[in-house]
Structure 1
Amino acid sequence: MSVTVQPKQLNPLLAKYLASLATRPILTKSSTSAVLSFISEIVAGHLAGSPPPPLSAKQRTGIPPLDLLKQNQKALKLAAYGFFISAPMGHTLLNILQKVFAGKTSARAKILMILCSNIFISPIQQSVYISAMAVINGADSLAAVYKAWKMSFWPVMRFTWVVSTLSMAIAQRGLAPELWVPFFTTVGVTAGTYVNVQAKKKALALRAKAQAKAEAEKKDVVAKDD
């Protein structure tokens, strides 16, 4: 007796998203990246304990969506980065990787794919991300951007290599190629949010340390004057 196996039904929203990816890949990826980057920055700010300051009565427009955008200028900039830079770059790099290893399913090919992703793709993506975040956070010169990159690159890369290796292994073992984009987008945004939270916490700690030092010096000056 034969048994008919029913194909798995995709979630309707996921099916529509995949259809959009197939017909308008870059626009779909860019729009997704922009929205998720905007949300990620807001979430990271709250998780790190450094949300943007509320708007003053004079700054408010009375229109909640506009006020949200005005209050979250960094999130808007990160959304622009996601739309114009991150998504097109990720699309291009992933396409190159998939084309190089198209049709190769051996264990050796899978390991080489992970290595290529870690050695070539991840450093490019993270270098661009760190540089963009430096600019968004106020770096106004190449020297300042380079300093931010130098401070953050290796810690971020160590974290990224772990995440990239695990996510690539999961994708290779259990995901159809057409599901790789939403999967890696989700992983990337989650990892980026974590990195952003840690960076914000570090910045808060440095500001608190500098403020404490300044207050201590001020007290010393007052004590000497007395």
Structure 2
Amino acid sequence: MTDVAARLLVEYTLALQRNPLRTKMYTSGTLAALAEILAGKFAGVAPAEKKLPPGQVSEKEAIKQQPLRFLEAIFAHLGINKRALQMFIYGFAISAPLGHVMTGVLQRAFAGKTTARDRVMQIITANLTTAVISNTVYLVCMAYINGARSIDRIIGIWRSSFMFLMRVTWLTSPISIGVAQKYLPQTLWEPYFALVRFFLSTAFNTITKKKQMALQRKQQDATKDEDLRKGAAQKK
């Protein structure tokens, strides 16, 4: 098992050297979709039930539709849904290219600088520039994926979550960068940081989903209480 993992890691690092951006895009897209699926499982989100259109279906049509329904049921059970696809697109087309450019700029700015002061400055610079940009883009994309379409709504979601996400970043980023600088060769930085982002994204997404579910339950309870009050008033 260890030999297999080592070979896969070697192949992955070679792919990064040959096609760095493309490899990062597929990696980021896959991990973003997986983070969405796992967050749904951890948060206890029930799979959406798809209502079938009314009317009778011929036996021939039913046979044609059955494999599709079977696949849809499997995908729903696994948590592979529209949001997971959207997260793949986000990771593939937005997060990876943006991170590739910003990381390249940061690495070029600190190339050859290996003193303790330089390492601290690299961490500070990353937290004040790349972290702010990447977290802002992440929150804007998440707001859009969650259904926000107006600028005011997107800005509101960004304001409510930005500082929390930045605090998490400021807490974890120095540790993860310090570990990479001290213990890992630079060729392993990309898969290492990809895994760090994956775990953080899964955790943040899980927390967000739990908050949304709690808010929905609260709204449903308030609606039920209002209906009960109206019913009691009508009886009087």
TM over 0.5: yes
- Letter of the 1:183 counterpart: Y
- Letter of the 1:49 counterpart: G
Q: Report the counterpart of residue 27 of structure 1 in structure 2.
A: 22
Aligned residue for 2:129, secondary structure, equals helix
Give the whole-Å Cα distance in 2 for the aligned partners of 1:108 and 1:146. 36
| Structure 1 residue runs of 4 or more that deviate by more than 4 Å after TM superposition | 54-60
Q: Give the CA deviation at 1:137.
A: 0.5
| 2:147 aligned residue (113, 122, 138) | 138
1:64 aligns with 2:71: yes
Q: Which runs of 5+ in 1 are unaligned?
A: 1-9
Aligned residue for 1:17, secondary structure, equals helix
1:37 aligns with 2:46: no
Q: Report the counterpart of residue 5 of structure 1 in structure 2.
A: none
Q: Which runs of 5+ in 2 are unaligned?
A: 54-64
1:49 aligns with 2:44: yes
Deviations 1:29-58 (A, max 9, x none): 000111111111011001011143244567
Q: Give the CA deviation at 1:163.
A: 1.3
Q: Report the counterpart of residue 95 of structure 1 in structure 2.
A: 104
1:44·1:194 contact (CA, 8 Å) conserved in 2? yes
Q: Report the counterpart of residue 220 of structure 1 in structure 2.
A: 229
Q: Report the counterpart of residue 197 of structure 1 in structure 2.
A: 206
Q: Which has the higher contact order (CA 8 A, sep 6+)?
A: 2
Q: Give the CA deviation at 1:118.
A: 0.7
Aligned residue for 1:225, secondary structure, equals helix
Change (3 A) 1:206 1:62: closer
Give the whole-Å Cα distance in 1 for the aligned partners of 2:216 and 2:98. 34
Deviations 1:78-115 (A, max 9, x none): 10000000001111111111111111111100000000
Q: Give the CA deviation at 1:62.
A: 4.5
TM-score with structure 1 setting the length: 0.90
Q: Report the counterpart of residue 121 of structure 1 in structure 2.
A: 130
1:48·1:201 contact (CA, 8 Å) conserved in 2? yes
Q: Give the CA deviation at 1:225.
A: 1.4
Q: Report the counterpart of residue 168 of structure 2 in structure 1.
A: 159
1:16 aligns with 2:11: yes
Change (3 A) 1:65 1:209: closer
Change (3 A) 1:71 1:184: closer
1:177 aligns with 2:186: yes
1:42·1:51 contact (CA, 8 Å) conserved in 2? no
| 1:168 aligned residue (171, 177, 181) | 177
Give the whole-Å Cα distance in 2 for the aligned partners of 1:106 and 1:38. 38
Change (3 A) 1:63 1:217: closer
2:37·2:80 contact (CA, 8 Å) conserved in 1? no
- Letter of the 2:95 counterpart: S
- Identity %, equivalent residues: 36
1:31·1:83 contact (CA, 8 Å) conserved in 2? yes
Q: Give the CA deviation at 1:64.
A: 2.9
- Letter of the 1:174 counterpart: Y
